[in-house]
Amino acid sequence: MVQKINLLPNKINFLVFGFCAMVSLLASCTSGTVIDSNVELADRRWTYRNHISTPFEIKDYTKGYNIYFKLRHTADYKYANIFILAHFKDGKQVVTKRYQYKLAKNDGEWLGSGSGNIFSYTLPMLTNYHFPRNGKFDIEIEQNMRDNPLLEVSDVGLAIEQVQ
């Protein structure tokens, strides 16, 4: 005797599973990125006067945000670190903080991800930072090394992401 199998529940399970997978995929693609910028520096020369300004808007100050300094340099960059000044501007006041980032190991191996002769970094500035209000802000970054211009820096930028 042949037993008849009802495939309808399996099809429904498959469709529900597929729907849930698509919703999960779309939800994970929803980005909390406020801004992700890169500014290319002419002739790979970063001067004291060349402040990289990044304006952005915060729409939910109750959330935490991670703020990252982004850097690209060539293999000919002559230091194992970099000092920067970050000027946090909220329209009413300016707060300046100095940061030092290590870019190479003691043996000279670059810590950034490399692609040919270029090394890239995304370095934390502030984690789980809460802005004081909703509105427009600006972060201005300047190099704070002893060389002017600072050679072999190709790009500088900023990334701000909402903490998930």
Would you state the structure tokens that stand for residue 93, as one six-digit string? 């006041």
What total of structural domains would you count in the chain?
Answer: 1
61 falls within a domain: yes
CATH code, domain with 40: 2.60.120
Q: Which domain holds residue 69?
A: 33-162
71 falls within a domain: yes
What residues contact 50, with CB distance under 8 A and at least 6 apart?
A: 41, 142, 143
- Residue range 45-70, pLDDT digits in tens: 999 999 999 999 999 999 999 999 99
16 falls within a domain: no
43 falls within a domain: yes
- Percent of the chain whose pLDDT exceeds 70: 81
**What is the distance of C-alpha 101 from the center of its chain?**
15
In whole angstroms, what is the distance from residue 24 CA to residue 46 CA?
43
Would you state the structure tokens that stand for residue 22, as one six-digit string? 């698509």
């008849």: which residue's tokens? Answer: 4
Mean pLDDT of 99-110: 96
14 falls within a domain: no
76 falls within a domain: yes
- Residue range 111-120, pLDDT digits in tens: 999 978 999 9
Q: What is the pTM of this model?
A: 0.80
